């Protein structure tokens, strides 16, 4: 662009010198040259500062690591690689046999626990009946003891009741009282066992129901589904392999279908001019001569080179004082997705701010020239 500006200015100067018959002297020629250097320099500086450009741009996307939540042997991988799939479609299946066996075991335990609930109620009713009988027995022995004791007291030496008989009746009453306390304790135990509930369900039944739900969940996880619309790529999973739920060892990579997004890395001297909503244009190496439009979504508020985390290591100058740029997220126009390019392609981006907007024409010309150069070879 600078060469184009110089040639244009040189042509204007020659025309002015010819038309107005200005003599070529030691004053006119240096004035024209220095004036050209100043004008071209100012235009380039204003353009670079207010309408920045970067060759460090790339389409970015998110990949989702797919891993099973249970361990098992792979029995089927029906998904087609690099083909669009809908959310919920099957990616792969694990052998469900051991998980089905656990489910059936938990179902049997649940049925047994549910049958114990009426038994607990019957035991409580039996304990209450035993308590009632113990009360009656206690009362009968109490009256008998009181009658013997009163007769002995009134009759004195002539009483028909001996001291031994009174003592026997007393011991019988105390034994009945002890049986009543034991019956009441058994009733309390039976009542607590029957009333042991959570959310209206017997605690033993609820515990086994939870184990059954967990077993059913594990059984369900033997079939792994697509989390959203998208596709899987570079699938190496095969029938007979053992899939293990390890976060660091996913068995498949899923690419969700999302809005395209470009990220450009810009010099920090221009980022204060940039803001969300600014218009942008970008080119990609895969499509020489094609210019796409876009809109700035966000200027990232942080730069990775200045980050550090709490750990046991000290950070030196080499960590913080590396070359860095500010990242800018750009939403491309819908036309970009129509080309169905490989995700993650590289490109170059120019952003046009509201400052000195008339100079954006220079940047647009430069960007299109760069796109034409891509016909011959990629130039970065």
Biggest CA–CA distance in the chain, Å, is 168
How far is CA 326 from each of CA 60, 298, 322, rounded to the nearest angstrom?
16, 11, 13
Task: Sort strands 223-225 and 230-233 into parallel, antiparallel or unpaired.
Answer: unpaired
What pLDDT is recorded for position 255?
A: 94
pLDDT digits (tens, 9 = 90+) for 330-354: 999 999 988 888 999 999 999 999 9
- The residue that leads in pLDDT, 156 or 74, is 74
What pLDDT is recorded for position 309?
A: 83
Interior angle at CA 36, CA 34 and CA 39, nearest 5: 110
**Does pLDDT of 212 surpass 80?**
yes
pLDDT digits (tens, 9 = 90+) for 39-93: 777 777 888 888 999 999 999 999 999 999 999 999 999 999 999 999 999 999 9
pLDDT digits (tens, 9 = 90+) for 258-294: 888 999 999 888 888 899 999 999 999 889 889 999 9
pLDDT digits (tens, 9 = 90+) for 115-140: 877 777 777 788 888 888 888 888 88
The beta strand positions in 30-185, using DSSP E, are 53-60, 64-66, 72-76, 90-94
Sole residue written with tokens 């509930």: 197
pLDDT digits (tens, 9 = 90+) for 164-190: 776 777 788 788 888 888 888 888 887
What pLDDT is recorded for position 74?
A: 95
Q: Any residues with CB less than 8 A from the CB of 38 and at least 6 apart, and which?
A: none
pLDDT digits (tens, 9 = 90+) for 227-266: 999 999 989 999 999 999 988 889 999 999 988 899 999 9
Q: Using an 8 Å Cβ cutoff, are 79 and 90 in contact?
A: yes
Find residue 51's DSSP bridge partners: none
Single pTM value for the model: 0.71
Residues in the chain: 380
Helix-strand-coil percent breakdown of the chain, rounded to 5?
A: 50, 20, 30
pLDDT bin (cut points 50, 70, 90) of residue 159 is low
Find residue 282's DSSP bridge partners: 292, 349
């Amino acid at each position: 662009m600078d060469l184009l500006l110089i040639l244009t200015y040189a042509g204007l100067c020659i025309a002015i010198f010819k038309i107005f018959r200005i003599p070529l002297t030691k004053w006119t020629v240096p004035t024209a040259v220095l004036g050209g250097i100043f004008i071209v320099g100012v235009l380039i500086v204003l353009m670079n500062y207010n309408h920045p450009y970067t060759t460090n741009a790339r389409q970015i996307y998110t990949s989702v690591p797919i891993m099973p939540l249970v361990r098992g042997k792979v029995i089927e991988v029906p998904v087609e690689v690099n083909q669009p799939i809908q959310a919920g479609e099957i990616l792969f299946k694990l052998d469900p046999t051991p998980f089905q066996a656990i489910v059936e075991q938990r179902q049997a335990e649940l049925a047994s626990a549910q049958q114990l609930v009426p038994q607990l109620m019957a035991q409580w009713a039996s304990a209450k009946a035993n308590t009632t009988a113990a009360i009656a027995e206690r009362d009968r022995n109490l009256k008998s003891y009181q009658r013997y004791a009163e007769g002995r007291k009134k009759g004195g030496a002539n009483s028909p009741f001996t001291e031994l008989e009174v003592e026997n009746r007393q011991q019988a009453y105390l034994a009945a009282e002890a049986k009543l306390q034991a019956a009441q304790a058994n009733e309390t135990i039976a009542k607590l066992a029957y009333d042991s509930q959570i959310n209206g369900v017997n605690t033993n039944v609820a515990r086994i129901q939870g184990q059954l739900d967990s077993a059913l969940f594990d059984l369900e996880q033997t079939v792994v589904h697509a989390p959203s619309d998208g596709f899987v790529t570079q699938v190496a999973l095969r029938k007979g392999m053992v899939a293990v739920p390890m976060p660091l060892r996913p068995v498949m990579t899923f690419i969700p279908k999302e809005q395209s997004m470009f990220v450009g890395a810009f010099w920090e001297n221009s980022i204060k001019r940039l803001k969300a909503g600014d218009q942008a244009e970008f080119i990609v190496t895969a499509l020489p001569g094609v210019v796409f439009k876009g809109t700035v979504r966000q200027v990232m508020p942080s730069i990775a080179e200045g980050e550090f985390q709490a750990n046991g290591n000290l950070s030196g100058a080499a960590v913080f004082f590396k070359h860095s740029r500010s990242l800018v997220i750009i939403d491309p126009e819908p036309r970009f997705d129509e080309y169905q390019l490989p995700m993650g392609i590289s490109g170059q981006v120019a952003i046009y701010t509201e400052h000195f907007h008339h100079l954006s024409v220079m940047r647009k010309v430069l960007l299109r020239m760069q796109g034409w150069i891509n016909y011959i070879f990629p130039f970065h």
